Amino acid sequence: MQPDVLGFEYPHIDERICTHCGLCTVACPVLNAPDEHGSPREEPQALAAWANDALLRQESSSGGVFGAIAADFVAKGGVAAGVRLNLDQRRAEHYLSTTVVDLTYSRGSKYIQSHPGTIYNDACTYLRMGRQVLFSGTPCQVAGMRRMAAQYAGADLLSTVEVICHGVPSEVVWQNYLASLETRYGSKVMDYRFRSKFPEGWHGYDTMARFTNGREYVRNHRQDAFNAAFLRDYCLRRSCYDCEFCSGNSVADLTLGDFWGASPSLDDDKGVSIAVVRTARGRELLEQCGRLRHTVVSLSVAQAGNPRLTTGHIAVPAQRETFQRVLLEEGYEAAAKRYLRPVPLGRRIASRAYRLGSRVATQVCHWLKTAFSSNKRGRVR
C-alpha cells in the first residue's frame, strides 16, 4: 500500500514480483459484486438502542451498542475486531480483542481512516480455527472482510457490524492539527477523544485533548478546527463523496449510528444508537445481548436524521482543492486560518437557541399528543 499526500493508502502492485495469481482482485469488494454468503438478508428493521453500562455508554459515541454486543460476543468465546487510537503512531488501527478489557480501546469513533494492517488475514485465521469472529468497521471494510472470508475461510462463523459512514477524513490533516495543538499548549497530547459527551452531552459533540503538562483542550464541533475540516467535507477520501457502500447496498448483519431525530422520550442526551438489523444474525446479536435495551422505531425517521443510510453522495465542496493546496504548499496553520475558522459566536448562540427551542417544542408536542390521546381514550370508555 502506498499513501497519497493526505495519507490515504492505495494498493500498488510491484510488477517485478507479481505472479498474476489474481488473489487480490478476487477479494476486492469494489471489483466484485456484493458477497451473498452468510446469514440471509431480511427487510431492514430499525431499533433505538442503549448499553445498560453507564460508563460504556458515556465513553462511546452514541448509545454504546457496539461495546455491549462485542462484550457479549467475547464473553461467549468469540473474537472481536474493532478500531483503537494509537497516539504514538498518530493513527487509528484495527485490532482483535479476545477479552472484555481489550475491547475498551474500541469505544468511541475515531474520525480518520483506520489502518487495517493484517486484520483481514488474522480474522480469517480465527475463522479457519473454528472461532466465531465479530468484525466491525466502515461499510467498505465490512464488504472487504466478507469477501475475504467467503474466499479464504468460510462465512458461517463471521458476524459483521458496520458504522453509518459519513466518510473518512485525512489522517495527515489530523496529525497536523494535533501538532498545532501541542505547540499551542506547549506539551504532548496523552489522551484524545474525537467526540466526547463531557461536558456538553451527546448533542454537544465535544472534542477533548489532555496534555502531559496537565492542561486540557475541550471544544464543541462548531469551534474545533479538525471537526470543521471533517464536517465541511474538505478532506474526506475521494471514494467517500460517491460511496456505493452507503447507498443501501450494505452487506453487514447490523448497521450502527447516531439516532439523530430520536423523540424526546428516547433521547436523554446521554447518547442513543440507531441499529438497523439486516439479517437473522444481526437480530441475534442485538436481541440476545443481555447488556443493552432496545425498542423498534420507524426506519424512515432514522433515515430522515441520517442521510448516509440512503445515499452515498456528498457534493465535493468548492474549497476542497484550495484547502488542500494551501495545506500542502503553505502549511497547516495557513490552511486552518483561512478555511477552518470556528462558526462565529452569534451563529453559535442562534443555533444553540434553535436546538433548545426545537427540543422544547418537540417535548411539548409529545406531551400534548399523550394528553390528547389519553383524554380521547377516557371519553370512549
Ligand X SMILES: Cc1cc2nc3c(=O)[nH]c(=O)nc-3n(C[C@H](O)[C@H](O)[C@H](O)COP(=O)(O)OP(=O)(O)OC[C@H]3O[C@@H](n4cnc5c(N)ncnc54)[C@H](O)[C@@H]3O)c2cc1C
Instruction: Report the interface residues with ligand SF4, using CB under 6 A.
Output: 13, 18-24, 138-140, 165, 167-168, 237, 239-240, 243, 245-246
Within its chain, how far is the Cα of 210 from the centroid?
22
Return the SS3 of 258.
strand
Q: Report the C-alpha gap between 90 and 110 in whole angstroms.
A: 11
143 near ligand X, judged by CB under 6 A: no
Residue 160 or 220 with smaller CB distance to ligand SF4: 160
Residue partners of 12: CB distance under 8 A and separation at least 6:
1, 2
Q: Which does 240 bind (CB under 5 to 8 A by kind): ligand X, ligand SF4, none?
A: ligand SF4
Question: Beta strand 91-97 with 79-86: parallel, antiparallel or unpaired?
Answer: antiparallel
| Span near ligand X by CB under 6 A; candidates 37-45, 111-119, 198-206, 358-366 | 111-119
92 near ligand X, judged by CB under 6 A: yes
Q: Which does 61 bind (CB under 5 to 8 A by kind): ligand SF4, ligand X, none?
A: ligand X
Within its chain, how far is the Cα of 101 from the centroid?
21
258 near ligand X, judged by CB under 6 A: yes
Q: Please identify the residue of the shown chain whose CB is closest to the bound ligand X.
A: 257
Residue 246 or 289 with smaller CB distance to ligand SF4: 246
165 near ligand X, judged by CB under 6 A: yes
Q: Which of 34, 73, 15 minimizes the C-alpha distance to 251?
A: 34
Q: Report the C-alpha gap between 176 and 122 in whole angstroms.
A: 31
> Three cell numbers at 47?
431499533
| Span near ligand X by CB under 6 A; candidates 24-32, 108-116, 148-156, 340-348 | 108-116
Task: Return the residue of 47, 83, 235, 302 that touches ligand X, per CB under 6 A.
Answer: 83
Q: Which does 139 bind (CB under 5 to 8 A by kind): ligand X, ligand SF4, none?
A: ligand SF4
Q: Is 120 left (phi over 0), alpha (psi -120 to 50) or beta?
A: alpha
CB of residue 340 to ligand X, shortest distance in Å: 18
Residue 1 or 13 with smaller CB distance to ligand SF4: 13
Residue 43: enclosing H or E segment and its boundaries?
strand 41-51
Q: Report the C-alpha gap between 218 and 353 in whole angstroms.
A: 21
> How many of the chain's residues bind ligand X (CB under 6 A)?
33
CB of residue 155 to ligand X, shortest distance in Å: 19
CB of residue 225 to ligand SF4, shortest distance in Å: 21
Task: Return the residue of 103, 133, 256, 326 that touches ligand X, per CB under 6 A.
Answer: 256
* Residues of the chain by 3-state class (helix, strand, coil), percent to 5: 40, 20, 35
The answer to whether 104 and 122 have CB atoms below 8 angstroms apart is no
| Span near ligand X by CB under 6 A; candidates 25-33, 65-73, 279-287, 288-296 | 65-73
CB of residue 18 to ligand X, shortest distance in Å: 29
Q: Report the C-alpha gap between 198 and 365 in whole angstroms.
A: 29
The answer to whether 207 and 280 have CB atoms below 8 angstroms apart is no
Q: Report the C-alpha gap between 50 and 262 in whole angstroms.
A: 12
29 class by beta-carbon count within 10 Å (0-12 exposed, 13-18 middle, 19+ buried) = buried
312 near ligand X, judged by CB under 6 A: no
Residues 261-300 as x/- pattern, contact with ligand X by CB under 6 A = ------------x---------------------------
The site for ligand X (CB under 6 A) is made up of: 60-67, 82-83, 92, 106-112, 114, 136-138, 163-166, 168, 256-258, 273, 306, 308
